[in-house]
Amino acid sequence: MPLNEETRSRIDDLLTTNDVVLFMKGTPQQPQCGFSATVIGILGGILPTYATVNVLEDPAIREGIKEYSQWPTIPQLYIRNEFVGGCDVIQQMYATGDLHSSLGIEVGEDVTPSISISKSAAQAIENVAKQNPGSGVHLKITANWNHEFSLSPAKGHEVVVSSNGIDVLLDRDSARRADGLEIDMTEGPQGGGFSISNPNAPPPVKQMEVEDLKAKLDAGESFQLLDVRGLDEREHAVIERSKILDGATATEIEKLPKDTELVFHCHSGVRSQSAAEHFRGLGFINVSNVVGGIDAWSERIDSSVPRY
């Protein structure tokens, strides 16, 4: 089917407004095919953020991107408006380091980290692995510092680390993030689970009360106060000294030293938590979220700021 101009224009817009775009089946959280899941796993270990398009929700794009790229299958990866390839190509490029180079990321030398697995955690892993003969225990540490276990056959390019009789397979990027990692078991209301301590991960996002924010503002402290709401909401209410987190501001923030203090707020504290986690994933080590957002500020600090 020939590619119509409307669909071509939509694809052009996607590629010109995003440096990295993955056309896939499903979403990064719920990929709907094994090939898409494989590529998401690779990119997630390299990049903290990139654009994805769920072709299952858009039949025009699903068929149009095949014609646009002259490539018959999904997923498809574009980097800076250039078509890279599908799953097999991306896997090969990752193994050789060419994918890092295409993304402008230094590959670095392979390292073998030190990992400690407690006896109880090793027993739990072994019990699960016995139910999947022929599979290796993989651990991926994503660019956002999520720790993800999976069982699948070894691909041959992984770094292998042993502790308490368990061989853990890591890709090169995960291996560089894993030195000093400790894996244990913990008990909770829903039963046992893995407890992972990684000294390399940025500290968690701190929760800041509005009284603490006021004290910092009154003291004239130097920090970035970032409002993740839209312009329509800022027309109703604004905390003095805050600035909107639009695309231009985000680009400026990303260039700052990673120890810069970042404080995020929204209306109630939910959207700002997500934004704070994003910048933590970029390596910022002093990140806070304002609990209750501007609504709590209006109620407890400055009643002249309208509530909505």
Q: How many CA atoms lie within 13 A of 262 on its CB side?
A: 35
DSSP code for 156: S
Contact 46, 100 (CB under 8 A): yes
Report the DSSP beta bridge partners of residue 147: 141
Of all helices (H) and strands (E), which one includes residue 42?
helix 34-44
Per-residue model confidence (pLDDT) at position 1: 57
Instruction: Tell me the C-alpha distance between 69 and 62, whole Å.
Output: 11
The C-alpha atoms of residue 143 and residue 139 are separated, in whole angstroms, by 13
Residue with the larger pLDDT of the pair 172 and 113 = 113
For residue 46, what pLDDT band results from cuts at 50, 70 and 90?
confident
Rounded to whole angstroms, the Cα distance separating 178 from 204 reads 17
* CATH fold of 206-300: Oxidized Rhodanese; domain 1 (3.40.250)
DSSP line for 79-123:
ETTEEEE-HHHHHHHHHHTHHHHHHT----------EEE-HHHHH
CA distance 98 to 36: 19
Contact 158, 169 (CB under 8 A): yes
Look up the CATH number of domain 115-197: 2.60.300.12
The rounded distance, in Å, linking the Cα atoms of 157 and 31 is 24
What radius of gyration, in Å, describes the C-alpha atoms of the chain? 22
How much of the chain, in percent, has pLDDT values that exceed 70? 98
Instruction: Classify 226 as helix, strand or coil.
Output: strand
pLDDT for 58 equals 93
Q: In the structure, what pLDDT confidence band is assigned to residue 170 with cuts at 50, 70 and 90?
A: very high
Task: Look over the chain and give the mean of its residue pLDDT values, rounded to a whole number.
Answer: 92
Domain boundaries, the chain: 5-103, 115-197, 206-300
Q: How far apart are CA 282 and CA 254, in angstroms?
A: 8
* C-alpha to C-alpha distance for 22 and 16, rounded to whole angstroms: 13
Percentage of residues in the chain having pLDDT higher than 90: 74
Question: Using one digit for the tens of pLDDT, what is the confidence trace for 128-148?
Answer: 999 989 899 999 998 778 899
The reply to whether omega before 72 is within 30° of 0 (cis) is no
What single letter denotes the amino acid at residue 30? Answer: Q
**176-232: per-residue pLDDT in tens?**
899 999 999 988 666 678 999 999 998 999 999 999 999 999 999 999 999 999 999
Whole-number pLDDT of residue 156: 78
Neighbours of 5 (CB within 10 A): 9
Return the CATH architecture of domain 5-103.
3-Layer(aba) Sandwich (3.40)
